[in-house]
Amino acid sequence: MSKRAAAALVAGAMVTVLTACGSGGGGSAAKGPGGKLVVGFSQVGAESGWRTANTKSIQDAAKKAGIDLKFSDAQQKQENQIKAIRSFIQQKVDVIAFSPVVESGWDTVLKEAKDAHIPVILTDRAVDSKDESLYASFLGSDFVEEGKKAGDWLVKEYQGKSDEVNIVQLEGTTGSAPANDRKSGFADAVKGEPKFKVVASQTGDFTRAKGKEVMQAFLKSQSKIDVLYAHNDDMALGAIQAIEEAGKKPGTDIKIVSVDGVKDAFTAMSQGKINYDVECNPLLGDQLMDLVKKVKAGEQVPRRIKTEEGTFTPEQATAALPTRQY
Ligand code: AHR
């Protein structure tokens, strides 16, 4: 047995793999019941409301499309995703899909999938591999554009005002595409106006708990905070708790601009606690299953499929709340 095969076998034994229906387990050769297509999907984790909605969308869509989904939760760790992908290769799944927790460090495992002739689809987040032959397609949002939308809103909000605007930024998971791109898109949008100063910027790992903790630290270390830019809603919601506990009014004393557009954030917007939300659509399941079928059938698919997304003011969020799906 080659070293690589042995490593894959160990990885297969270590990773927990669940099917879309909640049954099953890793290790055995993948053959979908009744000749179904088998897809190995490695999810980032369960760090946010967005992620929960994304997981549900993918699991529901697989069921609807009659695809046997082997689902693995990486708990925000790249090493777990690499193990899961190796396990999928070992099981000879038909297609591998994954949402890479960080951008870098995927070439080796993607090459292993390529050598095993298993097509890979990236969903939600991108990788920075130079070799585009390592994956068939990337389905997901334009995170730079999302950051730019947040920055554009800020520029408009403070139009005609010359006082310094002190911004604190809650960044997403370090090294992840949404953290990198939302940061750069935002910086680009505000760079023309020196009054905007990012006085503190730190990761909150896309979670509510960390968002709260880091905001508490910002409130202690910064004498004047005008704006919070959060890379996702969960961190914004955690930060709101910290702001309220510090005796300040979120949305008024400190303006908040965030990304995602989840229901809880819309509720906070309807209460005046978040001033602007840039949408990031997690409902990628149907499109992903469609791509899986095409890729497996050897059809030509676009290398990049961008998700359509909007923006929300508090009024728009309040109106959208009763029918918001996630
Ligand atoms: O990759 C998408 C991002 O990941 C979402 O904005 C965030 O909520 C999630 O954790």
Ligand 1 atom 3, closest CA: 178
Q: For the whole model, what pTM was predicted?
A: 0.90
Closest C-alpha residue for ligand 1 atom 4: 51
Q: What is the pLDDT of residue 7?
A: 40
Tens-of-pLDDT digits for all 326 residues of the chain? 444 343 433 333 333 333 333 333 333 445 577 789 999 999 999 999 999 999 999 999 999 999 999 999 999 999 999 999 999 999 999 999 999 999 999 999 999 999 999 999 999 999 999 999 999 999 999 999 999 999 999 999 999 999 999 999 999 999 999 999 999 999 999 999 999 999 999 999 999 999 999 999 999 999 999 999 999 999 999 999 999 999 999 999 999 999 999 999 999 999 999 999 999 999 999 999 999 999 999 999 999 999 999 999 999 999 999 999 99
Q: Which amino acid makes up residue 245?
A: E
Instruction: Determine the distance separating the centroid of ligand 1 and the alpha carbon of 231, expressed in angstroms.
Output: 8
Q: Output the CA 171–ligand 1 centroid distance in Å.
A: 11
Signed CA dihedral, 326, 126, 172, 318: sign only: negative
Show the ligand 1 pocket: residues with CB < 6 angstroms.
47-48, 50-51, 124-125, 178, 206, 232, 234, 259-260, 280
Distances from the Cα of 232 to the Cα of 22, 55, 117, 228, angstroms: 29, 17, 36, 11
Q: How remote is the CA of residue 54 from the centroid of ligand 1, in Å? A: 9
Going by C-alpha positions, the residue among 125, 142, 108 that lies closest to residue 47 is 125
Distance 205 CA to ligand 1 centre (A): 10
Relative to the CA of 282, which ligand 1 atom is closest? 2
- pLDDT, residue 32, reads 72
Residue pair 319/94 in contact (Cβ under 8 Å)? The answer is no
Beta strands at 68-73 and 18-19: parallel, antiparallel or unpaired: antiparallel
Q: What integer pLDDT is reported at residue 224 of this predicted model?
A: 98
For residue 93, the CA-to-ligand 1 centroid distance in Å is 26
Q: Which of 69, 62, 44, 67 is nearest to 140 (CA)?
A: 44
- Best of 42, 44, 47, 50 for a ligand 1 pocket test (most atoms within 8 Å of beta carbon): 50
Give the residue, out of 51, 144, 182, with the most ligand 1 atoms within 8 A of its beta carbon, to mutate for a pocket test: 51
Determine the Cα–Cα distance for residues 124 and 147; give it in Å rounded to an integer: 15
For position 174, what pLDDT does the model report? Answer: 98
Determine the distance separating the centroid of ligand 1 and the alpha carbon of 234, expressed in angstroms: 9
CB-based burial label for 318 (10 Å; 0-12, 13-18, 19+): middle
- Ligand 1: centre distance to CA 227 (Å): 21
C-alpha of 294 from chain center? 24
Residue 255 has what pLDDT? 98
What confidence tens digit (pLDDT) does each residue in 180-191 have?
A: 999 999 999 999
